[in-house]
Structure 1
Amino acid sequence: MSTEQVREVYRAYLFSAEVHQNQSRLTGEPYIYHPLAVARILAGMRMDQACIIAAILHDVIEDTEATKEILQVQFGDEVAELVDGVSKLTLMDFRSRAEAQAANFRKMMLAVAKDIRVIIIKLADRLHNMRTLGVMRPEKKRRIAKETLEIYAPIANRFGINSMRQELEALGFKAHWPRRYAVIKEHIRRNRGNRKEILSHIEHALRLRLQQEGIENESYGREKNPYSVYRKMRDKHLSLSELADVLAFRIIVDSVDTCYRVLGVVHNLYKPKPGSFKDYIAIPKANGYQSLHSILIGPSGFPIEIQIRTREMHQLAECGIAAHWIYKTPRNGRDTLPRGASEWLSSLLELQSGVGDSMEFLENVKIDLFPDEVYVFTPQGDILVLPRGATVIDFAYAVHSRVGDSCVAARIDRRLTPLRTRLHNGQTVEIITSEGAVPNPAWLNFVATSKARGYIRAYLKNIKQQEAMDLGRRLLDKEMRAYGSCLEQISIGVIEQALAEWKIDSLDSLLVDIALGNRMPLLVAQRLTGQAGGTLPEGSYRDHNSDPLVIRGTEGVVVNYARCCRPIPGDAITAVFNPGKGMVVHRQECPNLHEGKVRESWLELDWEAGIDNDFPTEIRVAVGNQRGVLATVAASIAELGSNIENVAIEERDGLTSTLILIIEVKNRKHLANIMRRIRTIPDVIRISRTLG
């Protein structure tokens, strides 16, 4: 830094020391020690002046009388925005600590999307807090350690800051599981002593061979990370004794060409383990990490892990995105970032606009913090990096949200595959779309990326809102017809007055409340027509001769069909309002309809003519225990254009069984035809439709 820049940093220190003057940490030391330690970490990463000043000031908005406006006047907009991005939402009320933490995280990540230095300051802040965690109460220590392992260490990994990730993992592991940490640390130390001679021999052999080839390099053995050892034990269900004692070496050279030369040299010195080579130089990881990885079989059969990289790659691997401040001077935190980091930050902005609350946002971001990736190709040869476990649907949304919304099938390596198929490295994926296709709620059961999950949820939320508004309007109009009126005839003033009384922000929200059963349409109709508390006119719709509400069977999530009786078109039906979920439709003869249901919440329904949808219903078929009887029944059902959703078998005795089949039918006539056909099968004893 120039003399003037150093002077500004010192002025920030004086300001921070003054406003934190009467504060101290739990360790007993003056509070200013903490922001100075954070600034020192960032100075070690060679961050820029604004970042170091913001680190010195990062707690002043949260813990002192200083405001963002004061920082803007004293140190400029850039520093003030950085400090504000790191500060917590202390002035808001939250129902729980978890909700407050999620809201703080959401605010911080949105600030990160504008300027990446916010997360670098926050990671340094968390790192120093973890270094001084010993004074905390045990339960608080475990909570902070868990949060570090679940969120901050994976974020450091996502942005390629390896040195910080490893220390956060080690400190978090030590604080959360101290005994496990001690056992694994001792195992690593003991093995290091036992293998000292072998380690020295391999190191000497590598250096000698590279020297003979005239390749200048730096090479050294690497220390294992206790948390990575623990994670491998946990994920692969291995004991410490079952873990292969991998000796790890890193070789740093001057150019990419030399990396590949070194690879040839070490493969000639020791035989490579088949299938273990990974070329992260040609195809970098999503966080920008580049290296050649190979596992060799060394003396006495010991596996040797080799990493080969250039000095710039090594700097990037240790400092990640922070390395860009060493080689370049970006105008702001988003300039010159690695493509993977920039894309992830952009996806955060898309994600936050589609989620309802901070808890959902945090849940979705956690999904994206997987350390492992799969590399798949588009038909044009472009590479997409997805988390391990990603499916065809995740790929479709990674290409574009419109592709994801309208995908109906896919080809992997030119073969048609289901949408839930998990992807593997090197596959070529082609998405088949259809103009009328829409996201399926079942996709949420298997998608792996937050982008896919966010878009599917946003679509379903919007559809539910539209369906609820439409149904709510129909329900309200039906009630209002009993008073000779309809919603269109009510003046805006009357509607607004009623909304104010009920503390509802809009008519749309009122209609949704009605559809979801949170507000009875009869009471709303009485209030809007001025008949509140009055009696219904004679001959109103609640008389037995009145016209029931007609449903189409396509109302979606606001109209649910009871699983106890599974109504289908042609059945006499009645709905019961279920607060928060909408209407549940039962057959009128269903015993569950008459048990404990308040009749005021009932609504008479009828089916619209000409419905062509498929509806599930359940039948029970008693059959003799003869080979092939199930196949014969299934074939008869298929011949009449029905699909079997589920089959269960109840053993009655050694001679008979009962098949419980859930089949899709158009209406009662379609069901009657199927049951008539099944009765003609010789081994069928009895057939009936399940009721309640």
Structure 2
Amino acid sequence: MIIADDLIGLIRAYNPSTNAELITKAYNFCLAMHEGQMRRSGEPYYTHPVAVACLLADQHLDDASIITALLHDTIEDTKANFADVERLFSREIAELVDGVTKITNLQLSSNVTKQAENFRKLIMATSKDIRVTLVKLADRLHNMRTIRSMAPEKQQQKARETMDIYAPLAGRMGMHWLREELEDLAFQVLNPEGRQSIIRRFIKLQNETGDVVEQINGDLLYEMDRAGIAAEIQGRAKKPYSIWRKMQTKELSFSRLSDIYGFRLIVGDEADCYRVLGVIHQRWRAVPGRFKDYISQPKTNGYRSIHTTVSGRNARRVEAQIRTKAMHQVAEKGAAATWSYRDGERVENPFALDPSAWIASLTERFGAEGDDGEFFEAFKLEMYTDQVFCFTPKGEVIKLPRGATPIDFAYAIHTRIGSACVSAKVDGIRVPLWTRLRNGQSVQIITAEGQTPPASWIDIAATGRAKTAIRRSLREVDRDKFINLGREFARVAFENVNKKATDRALSTAAKHFGLPDADELLARLGSAEIAAREVVAELYPNLKVRSTDEVVSALAVIGLEPGQNFTHATCCHPLPGERIVGITFRGRGVVVHTIDCLNMLLYETQMDRWLDLAWHDGQHAVTHPARIEVTIRNGAGVMGRICTLIGDQKANISDMHFIDRKPDYFKLIINLELRDVSQLHMVLTALEAENEVAEVSRHQDPKLGKNQGAFEGEWDKIGI
């Protein structure tokens, strides 16, 4: 058990002028208020707030934050109230404790609408004093460390909430160590088998290669000594969840994963950072496209560092992060660095940014009465994404999330510019509006009077700001169309539970979703912002909606006109789960493409032919075509095993043909019929794990779209 003197000792180590008397008073008040209360683990309850206080002391936070940690559950779980805390301590501490209490009471893992509403309240509480969030994050960390004492369903709920909300929030606060630990603790609950498989592979790799971290650490120290640079080097294997996420996003097996080891080199000043970079690149070969300079272009949360990936010992890729001590403090502590003390004085770290300014700008942008769902979406987009830095023709820097397009760039300048955008030039060359921008590019937006954003831009835009502005514009322009479409969606959904979508039922549902009236609800249904089944579930939670397991193939796509037929584009073979757009052809219906299909270049000046489409929710039939390209060893029984692996994933093989035959290897294209894109990933993963498979990838060929309406001359225009 940690006693008051132990806690005070931790604080005095960095803040000799701490108010020990007040800390002791808060400690004793915590013990008295929680007397007789027990945690699910069987420990006295007060051990939890004391542990949270110690976590904040490790971050060198001020006395008010640590006292708040000691008292953070007193107003919620004991007979103490706001007035008691204010009288015994201070108004400041009472407001901090009250702020943490309000966050704790929010149900962030409830239904989507309620979750969005509560998330707005969380951010509003955070915007008043960032220390409220720092205490809450420490509270969540200790709860996750002791989560095994909870009931299994409660563990799942808390772990999902942590993964969706608290871990990315910690990352956006710049507290990367905290984000990584929260993610890994949640991962351990949500996917224990996946985490164990990563750990087992790590152990096997270490047995085969020895301690790679220690070996590379020695190599780096040797090079730094030769160059006369004083550097502290920290090496580590990346966390299991970080590796798992990279395997999923890049669709790679563990054996093909690179840079699973990371090293930090902490030096004296900024000039040494660039000297270290030169030394590393002279010794090891740099991996193209993996260099990032966050010193000259810091992240919005204040993070500064140089990142480079090199081919190190035994050709294994290694990521190196180079920074100064002050930069390292911000990289580790993030927002906490703003409140850190050293030798009794608040530390003025020139790199520390107070994220409350960012939160305030977001809350101001959406306003107190704005749409909770749009606020939630915008905030999640800003929390989850890294950034790129692009320039206006006048040289002004525009910061955007990775994956942003010229549409996002236009809306970042001004909503009016975004809505009037018709095309864009990147580095002087005209590009499609769905082009993903990269660091350092110069972007020129071309506008036209009377232009309004088409619905297809929703899927192209990456930022919450752009998506929100586009939706608002669409709701204004196409409101009547969306209301009629939404009414039809509602009718079908209600009939599935033998009910009628009456005006009264729709008005009641609108209130449940926090919307002003039934028309607004129908407009949201028609624009696919709310699913009709969610409305039914909200009104009739005890009724079972008839299964949508088999979405009829002819009705798989939303957004077609009555009687309009569609076909899959043979160039990109879109699958349910992917973002799609339709191109209309006279007498031939609609051809459905993925949003990033190269052939969309042919129609960039014919926006009137574009249709904003989406896949129906539910489980689709195994009828959607796709192609994969596989290179296999030429051996007895290999082809049979490949077919068996595909069949094990419940996919159908419709055709296959060889495109290259060598004495030892065959390359072939296999035509599949699949349910959705996730089933495709399952097939690719299963084949990738097979020893007889050298390479496997999805096969898409723009030239195969030739027979679906494009003219020969049009192919020449885009160099195909």
Is structure 2 residue 156 aligned with structure 1 residue 176?
no
Which residue number corresponds to residue 357 of structure 2? 342
Change (3 A) 1:311 1:343: same
| Cα contact 1:157–1:371 (8 A) shared by 2 | no
- CA deviation vs aligned residue, 1:109-132 (integer Å, no higher than 9, x gap): 111122222221111111001000
Is structure 2 residue 167 aligned with structure 1 residue 140?
no
Which residue number corresponds to residue 298 of structure 2? 284
Change (3 A) 1:150 1:156: same
> Distance between the aligned counterparts of 1:642 and 1:233, measured in 2?
37
Which residue number corresponds to residue 390 of structure 1? 404
The alpha-carbon deviation at position 85 of structure 1 amounts to 2.3
| Cα contact 2:231–2:268 (8 A) shared by 1 | yes
| Cα contact 1:12–1:53 (8 A) shared by 2 | yes
| Cα contact 2:293–2:307 (8 A) shared by 1 | yes
Which residue number corresponds to residue 21 of structure 1? 35
The alpha-carbon deviation at position 168 of structure 1 amounts to 0.8
Bigger mean CA offset, 10-19 vs 199-208: 199-208
Which of 351, 371, 387 is equivalent to 1:356? 371
Change (3 A) 1:305 1:643: closer
- CA deviation vs aligned residue, 1:483-525 (integer Å, no higher than 9, x gap): xxxxxxxxxxxxxxxxxxx99xxxxxxx97799999xxxxxxx
> Distance between the aligned counterparts of 1:397 and 1:331, measured in 2?
39
> Distance between the aligned counterparts of 1:248 and 1:644, measured in 2?
49
| Cα contact 2:173–2:301 (8 A) shared by 1 | yes
The alpha-carbon deviation at position 247 of structure 1 amounts to 3.9
> Distance between the aligned counterparts of 1:95 and 1:253, measured in 2?
43
The alpha-carbon deviation at position 418 of structure 1 amounts to 4.1
The alpha-carbon deviation at position 44 of structure 1 amounts to 0.4
> Distance between the aligned counterparts of 1:48 and 1:439, measured in 2?
49
| Cα contact 1:347–1:451 (8 A) shared by 2 | no
Which residue number corresponds to residue 258 of structure 1? 272
Percent identity between matched residues is 41
Which of 439, 443, 463 is equivalent to 1:425? 439
| Cα contact 2:141–2:182 (8 A) shared by 1 | yes
Change (3 A) 1:78 1:242: same
Is structure 2 residue 171 aligned with structure 1 residue 157?
yes
Bigger mean CA offset, 414-423 vs 115-124: 414-423
The alpha-carbon deviation at position 156 of structure 1 amounts to 1.3
Change (3 A) 1:274 1:449: closer
* Amino acid aligned to 1:346: S
Which of 367, 373, 379 is equivalent to 1:365? 379
The alpha-carbon deviation at position 23 of structure 1 amounts to 2.2
The alpha-carbon deviation at position 461 of structure 1 amounts to 5.5
Is structure 2 residue 74 aligned with structure 1 residue 45?
no
The alpha-carbon deviation at position 438 of structure 1 amounts to 4.7
Is structure 2 residue 388 aligned with structure 1 residue 381?
no
The alpha-carbon deviation at position 621 of structure 1 amounts to 9.4
Bigger mean CA offset, 100-109 vs 46-55: 100-109
TM-score (norm 1): 0.63
- CA deviation vs aligned residue, 1:626-664 (integer Å, no higher than 9, x gap): xxxxxxxxxxxxxxx997668xxxxxxxxxxxxxxxxxx
Which residue number corresponds to residue 217 of structure 1? 231
The alpha-carbon deviation at position 283 of structure 1 amounts to 1.4
Q: How does 1:1-150 map to 2 (within 5 A)?
A: 1=15, 5-88=19-102, 99-150=113-164
Change (3 A) 1:405 1:517: closer
Counterpart secondary structure, 1:222? strand
The alpha-carbon deviation at position 167 of structure 1 amounts to 0.9
| Cα contact 2:262–2:320 (8 A) shared by 1 | yes
Structure 1 unmatched ranges of 5 or more: 470-501, 504-510, 519-560, 567-615, 623-640, 647-692
* Amino acid aligned to 1:74: L
Change (3 A) 1:89 1:460: farther
Change (3 A) 1:362 1:24: farther
* Amino acid aligned to 2:394: Q
Which of 239, 244, 257 is equivalent to 1:230? 244
Counterpart secondary structure, 2:67? helix
| Cα contact 2:18–2:63 (8 A) shared by 1 | no
Change (3 A) 1:54 1:458: farther
The alpha-carbon deviation at position 211 of structure 1 amounts to 1.6
| Cα contact 2:127–2:356 (8 A) shared by 1 | no
Counterpart secondary structure, 1:368? helix
Change (3 A) 1:198 1:138: closer
> Distance between the aligned counterparts of 1:270 and 1:145, measured in 2?
40
Change (3 A) 1:242 1:199: same
| Cα contact 2:310–2:318 (8 A) shared by 1 | yes
The alpha-carbon deviation at position 252 of structure 1 amounts to 1.2
| Cα contact 1:89–1:103 (8 A) shared by 2 | no
Counterpart secondary structure, 1:319? helix
Which residue number corresponds to residue 628 of structure 1? none
The alpha-carbon deviation at position 331 of structure 1 amounts to 10
The alpha-carbon deviation at position 38 of structure 1 amounts to 1.0
Q: How does 1:152-551 map to 2 (within 5 A)?
A: 152-196=166-210, 199-244=213-258, 246-326=260-340, 338=353, 342-351=357-366, 353=368, 355-357=370-372, 359-434=373-448, 436-459=450-473
Counterpart secondary structure, 1:432? strand
Rg comparison, structure with higher value: 1
